[in-house]
């Protein structure tokens, strides 16, 4: 614009020298300089009314201000840098990768121990920015070496609450993450709630807080120590139609599974026979089973009459990292699938599957991943929902929705109540009857 106003009509072209002075071993060299020939317009360009100035709220001209403080703020710099790997992944390898849906997913982690810490770290790597922890324990001296969000100082003075320490640990890694910790217990079947001492009111309060957290989050991770601790969250998730990723460890085995998302009254699809299940690579996603669908007994108090060492989960150190990473990868693959939580389950990973055959941009979306570390081997089975399941069956979900805490209290206080409600007791009786009739006179 300056050239146009100054020399338009006087010159047709103007040579502009781009001077480049390089110094090498004390010798100046400007041979890299270039000359650019600029063609001027025939008529001078019109200057804008204001250059570098604008009218303020009082319609007076003033300098245009640009706040550059964010470019110097470490937190802002970190926010623009932490997702670089994900952006490169989408740019160079997977253009169809939807990072926005991952970033806005709100995750609730039930358990802030070894699995909870590792799952949270992996979620953070994938760009998830809303992570909540639920736990009622304190950080002990044995935790920091296995649980990646804790430090030695968290163990002092009796130990910080795990849920709060885990949330603080995430914020130290990335200050912009929305991490929260909630100290509460998850009531369990078979763990009797005494009517004296206000215990019923406390349990009721914990249930109400848990229900509110389920409403506020999109995905639930079950990362607790005991089997029965997963029952109430499974029932709540089935009632609210939430996605659940379940992760459990043995000594050298692990299980990662997604629960089938109940959809109205069509939670259980038409019967699929075993041969069809074996022959097909995909199992309908609307009727996949939950963690309890393979059980024929109701969950009970698994820690009763056990010593302290028997109550602890004893696993090979690398198990939690493997299982946690697979749990998060399963969730992200599920989020990239067009059907999300209702995605059909892949049951084999044979090389015959072409890349174009994948419905998720990240590949297969199984129902379960069962790993055996002693053989470095894993399988991907799928199981259908059980109509007498003690957690996700229609009768259990219906009674939870209609009776609320009164129904839950009966489950907590009576080990056999769930079996009677679901029909498992009758199933056991019929099985015993069939066994008796099957014995012939010659076998007596």
Query: Which sequence positions are flagged as catalytic?
Result: 312
CA 153 vs CA 6, 45, 144, 160, 250: distances in Å: 69, 67, 10, 9, 29
Instruction: Please provide residue 46's backbone torsions phi and psi, each rounded to the nearest 5 degrees.
Output: -85, 130
Tokens at residue 223, please?
A: 């990362």
Dihedral sign, Cα of residue 237, residue 238, residue 244, residue 247: positive
Write the burial class of residue 40 (CB in 10 Å: 0-12 exposed, 13-18 middle, 19+ buried): middle
Q: Measure the CA–CA gap between 208 and 218, rounded to whole angstroms.
A: 17
Is there a contact between 282 and 347 (Cβ–Cβ < 8 Å)? yes
Tokens at residue 399, please?
A: 């009674």
Helix or strand run (H / E) with residue 247: strand 243-249
Q: Measure the CA–CA gap between 175 and 403, rounded to whole angstroms.
A: 42
Residues 6+ apart with CB under 8 A from 168: 179, 181
């Amino acid at each position: 614009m300056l050239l146009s106003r100054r020399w338009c009509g006087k010159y047709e072209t103007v040579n502009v020298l781009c001077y480049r002075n390089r110094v090498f071993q004390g010798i100046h060299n400007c041979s890299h300089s270039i000359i650019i020939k600029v063609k001027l317009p025939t008529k001078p360009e019109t200057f804008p009314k204001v250059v570098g100035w604008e009218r303020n709220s009082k319609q007076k001209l003033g300098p245009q201000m640009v706040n550059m403080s964010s470019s110097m703020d470490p937190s802002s710099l970190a926010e623009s840098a932490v997702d670089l790997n994900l952006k490169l992944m989408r740019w160079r390898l997977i253009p169809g990768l939807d990072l926005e849906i991952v970033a806005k997913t709100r995750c609730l982690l039930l358990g802030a121990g070894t699995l909870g810490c590792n799952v949270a770290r992996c979620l953070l790597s994938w760009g998830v920015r809303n992570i909540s922890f639920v736990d009622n324990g304190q950080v002990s001296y044995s935790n920091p070496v296995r649980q990646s969000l804790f430090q030695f100082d968290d163990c002092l003075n009796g130990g910080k609450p795990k849920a709060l320490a885990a949330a603080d640990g995430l914020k130290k890694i990335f200050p912009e993450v929305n991490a929260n910790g909630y100290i509460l217990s998850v009531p369990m079947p078979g763990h009797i709630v005494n009517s004296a001492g206000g215990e019923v009111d406390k349990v009721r309060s914990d249930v109400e807080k848990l229900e509110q957290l389920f409403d506020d989050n999109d995905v639930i991770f079950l990362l607790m120590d005991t089997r029965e601790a997963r029952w109430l969250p499974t029932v709540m998730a089935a009632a609210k139609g939430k996605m659940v990723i379940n992760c459990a460890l043995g000594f050298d085995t692990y299980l990662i599974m997604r629960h089938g998302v109940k959809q109205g009254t069509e939670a259980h699809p038409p019967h699929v026979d075993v041969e069809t299940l074996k022959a097909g690579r995909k199992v309908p996603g609307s009727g996949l089973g939950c963690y309890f669908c393979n059980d024929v007994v109701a969950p009970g108090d698994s820690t009763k009459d056990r010593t302290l060492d028997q109550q602890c989960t004893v696993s090979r150190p690398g198990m939690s990292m493997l299982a946690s990473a697979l749990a998060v990868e399963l969730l992200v693959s599920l989020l990239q699938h067009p059907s999300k939580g209702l995605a059909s389950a892949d049951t084999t990973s044979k090389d015959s599957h072409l890349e174009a055959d994948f419905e998720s941009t990240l590949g297969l979306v199984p129902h379960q991943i069962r790993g055996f570390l002693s053989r470095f081997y894993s399988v991907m089975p799928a199981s259908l929902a059980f109509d007498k399941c003690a957690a996700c069956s229609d009768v259990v979900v219906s009674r939870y929705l209609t009776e609320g805490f009164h129904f839950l209290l009966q489950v907590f206080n009576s080990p056999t109540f769930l079996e009677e409600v679901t029909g498992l007791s009758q199933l056991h009786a019929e099985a015993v009857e069939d066994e008796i009739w099957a014995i012939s006179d010659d076998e007596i």
